[in-house]
Each structure stands twice: as structure tokens, then as C-alpha cells.
Amino acid sequence: MTSHLLLDAVSKRFSNDHAPALDAVTLDVAAGSCTAILGPSGSGKSTILRVMAGLDPVTSGQVLVDGVDVAGLAPERRGMGMVFQRPLLFPHLGVLDNVAFADRVRGVPRAAARRNAELYLDMVQLGGYGRRSVRELSGGQEQRVAIARVLAARPRVLLLDEPFSALDPELRSDMHALIDDIRSALAPTIVLVTHDRDEASAVADRIAVLHEGELLQHDTVDGVYTRPASLRVARLMGGLNEVPGMIVDGTHVSGLGRVPLDAGRDVSDGSATLVVRQEAIGVRALGVRALPGDAAVGEVVGRVTGVRNLGARRLLTIVFGAGGAADIELNAELPPGQGVEVGSRVAVTLPRAAVSTVRA
């Protein structure tokens, strides 16, 4: 029950007066893998799912499932199952018959379809709920039934369109665990649309970052966070640090000093902006009267100008320089328990593996 999905230069235009909703998007989703489509509102996330499912025709390009162009196939013949933000269960059918629906449409006798439905209800941890009316279910349970109903149709590709965004945070993390269970049991190819970065990294192997209909990067979760393809990706992934400078002989040179870069990336000489995640920066408190000379090799001394609480963690703003337009500002997220105040001096390290550069 798993297929390779390829979008090959897919464009979608709803009208000639507007920019395309999808602009020559090429996206390769390996069989059995899970890709999260992440992007701001209006970036084309739902449209990408709808053209995969065949709910909207492409303007140009191809959708290929296991190498076969599915353009001529109606949605129900594409072997794709779609779960929406709202569960859309049949209110006149009980839970079991909602899940048995696909088999019944295929002509499977009722008893066999119901036996099958029980298996999928078990998989979504609702074994024993089959006799209930869908009106007796909570929001989270309804969405579990919707997922069981789609799985019972044995899709080759599972398309999830913000399916958990209406649920509260605790239920949402239960649903993420459920997706893990489904992946272990059935290994379907999954495309999940979300605008929630944490959800994308909790559930998916890879993240496809979409902006104004353009696919900016499709990479591993670590790749999009740590090695963004552009400043836009870095910002969409919530990255806060951008240090303009130059690459000279494999080293980034800026007001922060010289930061060695990993070979194997694009380290050719020229102007480049250094990016480093706020979570990756090391911070050592030095006290108020510390001097730049107190730093060890590889450390840079800065002054804390802001401290913001983020739940258990704290976000520091640290300024480097003598005070002026050339000052560099970095943000660093501290683990719980580290006390640093505004005005303190800190020695900062940028772990080499966490540093990346993007071209202007």
C-alpha cells in the first residue's frame, strides 16, 4: 500500500489575472516516506494536495504515481486517500459503517466490510467504538474515525490537509503518535499539509517549504532547519540569526570575526550571509565586567541586551561590537535553569555543524 509520488513541473493557475497558485513545482516523495508541506497562508499548500488528489486539474506539468501520469484518472481511481481539517463523517451511519464505507462501495459484503473496519478502528485506538453514533464522538475521536475510514480504502498515498489544526495541543501530539503507529503498521506514502513547523518536524521525514506557489526547498527536517537554501527558508523555519559578511578561503568573515565553514558546502569566495539557529548557539555567562580577552578560542564576547521567556526556555538578544551601525546581533535560546541578565557579558560559540551560509 505504498507508492512513489512525483510532481513534475506542476503549475496551477486559477485565473490569468493572478499569479499562479503553483509555479512549476517539482516534488519527489519516495514510497513510504512522509513529506510535510509547510508554508504561510496562501502559499499553495492546499492546492498542491488538491492537484495530487485530482480534485483540481493541473494547468501544466504532471502528477506521476509509480511513474504513471494520473491526469486522466478521476480522484477515486488515483489510489489516494485524503483527510481534511474537518472529519466529514456520514452522520446517518454509525462509526463502524463509516469505516466500512469504502469496502461496501466496492461491493464487499456487509459482514466482511465490518470485520475489516474493526481492524482499522483498532489501528486508530477506537476498538469497541464501532456501535456508537458519530454524534457521540469527541473532535479527536471523529478525526481518528476519519483516518480509519480513509485507511480502510487502502490508499497508496495518504494526503492529510491540516487534519489536526482544530484540535488542542495535547490531542494533537496524540495524533502525531498515531501517524507514527500508522507508518509502522502500513508504511503509506504520506503528504501532510501544515502551517505548524513543530508538527512538520514531529511527523515528517522531509519538509517541503512553499512560498507564493514556489517550492523553495525539499529536504530532511534537519536540512531545512540547519542548511536553509535561502534567507526566506531560514525565516519561514523561524530562524532568527542572519549575519552579513564575506566568505574568504572557506571562512565566513564578519563583525563576529572569522567563523570556519564545513567543506562540502558552497564555500567559494564572495559575499554571503551566515545563518545559525538560535537553539544551536552556545552561551557561557561571564558576568558584567568581563572583557573580550576573557573569551577562549572559538568564543566571541557579547553583551546581553534582551531576555524573553519562552516557557521553560529563554531567548537572549546578544550584541557584539562597540556600539554602532556595524554591531552584530544574535539571538540564542537557553535551556532551562541558566540565569543570564540584561547587561551581562557572555561568551558565545557557534558550533561548526550548525553554521550555514546563504548567498545574498
Smaller CB distance to ligand ADP: residue 39 or 54?
A: 39
DSSP 266: -
128 in contact with ligand ADP (CB under 6 A) = no
Q: What is the 3-state secondary structure (H, E, C) of 81-120?
A: EEECCCCCCCCCCEHHHHHHHHHHHCCCCHHHHHHHHHHH
CB atoms within 10 A of CB 339: 9
Confirm or reject binding of residue 239 to ligand ADP (CB under 6 A). Answer: no
Instruction: Name the residue among 337, 334, 340 with its Cα closest to residue 290.
Output: 340
Q: Using the 8-state DSSP alphabet, how is residue 75 labeled?
A: G
- Contact between 42 and ligand ADP per CB under 6 A: yes
What is residue 354's DSSP assignment?
A: G
Using rule CB under 6 A, residue 41 touches ligand ADP: yes
Longest dimension (CA), the chain: 81
Q: Please select the residue that binds ligand ADP; options are 43, 143, 217, 278, rule is CB under 6 A.
A: 43
Sole binder of ligand ADP in the list 46, 241, 331, 357 (CB under 6 A): 46
26 versus 305: smaller Cβ distance to ligand ADP? 26
Number of shown-chain residues binding ligand ADP (CB under 6 A): 10
Among 25, 35, 38, 39, which residue interacts with ligand ADP (rule: CB under 6 A)?
Answer: 39
- Is 38 or 100 the residue whose CB approaches ligand ADP more closely? 38
Q: How far is the CB of 15 from ligand ADP (least distance, A)?
A: 6
Alpha helices in 31-168 (DSSP H): 45-53, 95-105, 110-123, 139-151
Member of 10, 45, 58, 245 binding ligand ADP (CB under 6 A): 45
Question: Residue 142 Cβ, how far from ligand ADP at the closest point, in Å?
Answer: 22
Task: In angstroms, give the least distance from the CB of 228 to ligand ADP.
Answer: 19
- DSSP state, 323? S
Task: Tell me: does residue 314 bind ligand ADP (CB under 6 A).
Answer: no
- Min separation Cβ 315 and ligand ADP, Å: 28
Whole-number Å distance between alpha carbons of 276 and 290:
25
Binding residue for ligand ADP (CB under 6 A) from 36, 38, 44, 118? 44
Per the CB < 8 A criterion, the answer to whether 73 and 11 are in contact is no
Cβ of residue 219: shortest distance to ligand ADP, in angstroms?
A: 19
Q: How far is the C-alpha of 140 from the C-alpha of 357, rounded, in Å? A: 42
> Residue 291 CB: number of other CB atoms within 10 A?
9
Distance of closest approach, residue 158 Cβ to ligand ADP, in angstroms: 18
By CB under 6 A, the residues from 138 to 157 that bind ligand ADP are none
Q: Any contact of residue 211 with ligand ADP (CB under 6 A)?
A: no
21 forms part of the interface with ligand ADP (CB under 6 A): yes
Buried-state track 223-258, b at ≥16 Cβ within 10 A, e below 16 = bbbbbbbbebbbebbebbbbbebebeeeebebbbbe
Residues that bind ligand ADP (CB under 6 A): 14, 21, 39, 41-47
